Amino acid sequence: MNPEEHASSIAVVDLTALHENLCRVRKRSHCGAILPVIKANAYGHGAVEVARFLSGANFPGAISMFGVAFLEEGMALRKAGITHPILLMTGCPIGQIPEILRYDLTPVLFDLESAVALSRYAEKRGKIVNVHIKFDTGMGRLGLSPTEASSFVEKVVDQQGICVEGILTHFADADLKDLSFARHQLKAINRIWTNLEKGGVKIPYCHIANSAAIMHFSRAHLNLVRPGLMLYGYSPLEVKTRVQLSPVMQVKSRVIALRRVPEGVSISYGRTYVTPKESVIATVSIGYADGYPRLLSNRGVMLAKGNRVPVVGRVCMDMTMLDVSQVPSLRVGDWVTVIGAEKNKAVWADEVASASDTIPYEILCGIGNRVQRVYLHENA
C-alpha cells in the first residue's frame, strides 16, 4: 500500500530545497562549521530524515554537529543511526546524565552542580564528555552571566571527565534592522572568549549566529553557525532580504466532500459564515489538530487547482471548509495546497503565519503527526 494514496494530509519535504538552503548557509558563513538546528522534529520537517540527509554522503564534512533541545530528541537521532555530535541546547539535567553519556550527547552547561555531577559520572566510567558552556548576554533565557565566565569555565576545565569544546550565547533580536543590541551581545561573547584565551584556556568553538545573523550580520559568524529557519527556506528578518531561500515543506490536504449550496447557508461552528450566494463548498481534511490555526477561520487561503480559495467558517479540529465556487474541476479526493505553490500561485508558511498573527516557526513546528511526511529528492 502506498501510504500517500490513503493519507488525509501530507507534508511533502523537498530535500533538494534543503540542500540548496544548506549551500546558501555555507556560502554566507565562509565555510566555518555548521550546526543545523533540528529540534522540534526539524521544525516539523522530520528530524531523523533531515539529519540522515544532511549527514549523508551528499555533504562530506559539511556538518559539524546537530542541535536539539531535549534528551529525547537526541536519543531518537542516535537510535536512528545518526553518528554526528549532537548538542543538547537546553542543558544537562542531573537525572539525565546516564542517558547523555549512554547516547554520546554533548550537553550545554550553565550551572556548577550539573558540571560536577557530569564529571563524577564520566570519570567513574573512564569517559570524557564534550560540553559547551552557555552565557546569557541578553536573551534572558538560559546561561551564566558573563561576569561569572572566567571563574566558572576555570572550575569546569579542572573537572575530570569533561572537555569544554565550546562556549555559546543566543541573540535576542538579530532579526531587526537595528543591530545595536546584537552588537552588544556579540561583544560580550567575544570578550569572554578572548579573556579565556588570554588566561590560557583555549576553547575550540565560540558560537552565537542563528539564521538572522547568518543572513545579515557576518561579524557574528565566529567559527560555528547555528541555522534553523533559513535551512527550511524562510527568512526571520523583519525587512525583505535578497538572500534567496527555497521553502522545503509543502502541506496538502484531501478534499473529502463537495457540496453546492444555495444562498443563506451557514458553514461550521458558530455559523460565522453564511453563503452570500449559491456556492460550492469543499471540506478538506486538515484542522487545528494538525496545526492549521483556528485563527484562520474566515481568514485563511488555500490553493485549489492553482486558484487561491478562501477558508469559510471556523476551522474545526480535523476539517476546514473552502469556497471553491471558482474551481469547477475540483473533485472529491483531489489535493488542495495548504502551504506551498501550485502553478504560479503560492501560500507559503510566512503568509499563513502573518494571517494568524504568528511567525513561520510556529506554523512549521505545529504541523502535526497525522500529516504524513513524504520525502522528495531529485537523485532519489
Stretch that binds ligand PLP, among 72-80, 158-166, 188-196, 206-214 (CB under 6 A): 206-214
Residue pair 220/168 in contact by the 8 Å Cβ criterion: no
Torsion (CA) 236, 240, 241, 247 in degrees, nearest 10: 60
Looking from the CA of 152 toward its CB, the CA atoms found within 13 Å total 22
Nearest to 279 by CA among 344, 222, 328, 340: 328
Least distance between ligand PLP and beta carbon 212 (Å): 6
Least distance between ligand PLP and beta carbon 215 (Å): 9
Rule CB under 6 A: say whether 211 interacts with ligand PLP. yes
Nearest to 293 by CA among 368, 234, 369: 368
Least distance between ligand PLP and beta carbon 331 (Å): 39
Residue nearest to ligand PLP (CB): 228
**DSSP strands (E only) in 217-331:** 224-225, 249-261, 266-267, 273-274, 279-284, 301-304, 307-310, 320-323
Rule CB under 6 A: say whether 236 interacts with ligand PLP. yes
Cell of 83: 553518528
**Which x/- pattern, by CB under 6 A, does the window 338-357 give for ligand PLP?**
--------------------
User: Among residue numbers 161 through 200, which ones bind ligand PLP (CB under 6 A)?
Assistant: 170
Measured from the CB atom, the residue of 45 and 226 that comes closer to ligand PLP is 226
Rule CB under 6 A: say whether 47 interacts with ligand PLP. no
Alpha-carbon gap, residue 14 to 376, rounded angstroms: 5
Active-site residue, selected from the candidate residues 79, 155, 202, 269:
269
The single residue among 228, 287, 293, 366 that binds ligand PLP, judged by CB under 6 A, is 228
Annotated active-site residue 39? The verdict is yes
Name residue, grid cell 537525572: 95
Rule CB under 6 A: say whether 235 interacts with ligand PLP. no
- Find residue 320's DSSP bridge partners: 284
User: Among residue numbers 4 through 43, which ones bind ligand PLP (CB under 6 A)?
Assistant: 37
- Active site residue ranges: 39, 269
Binding site for ligand PLP (CB under 6 A): 37, 89, 170, 210-212, 226-229, 236
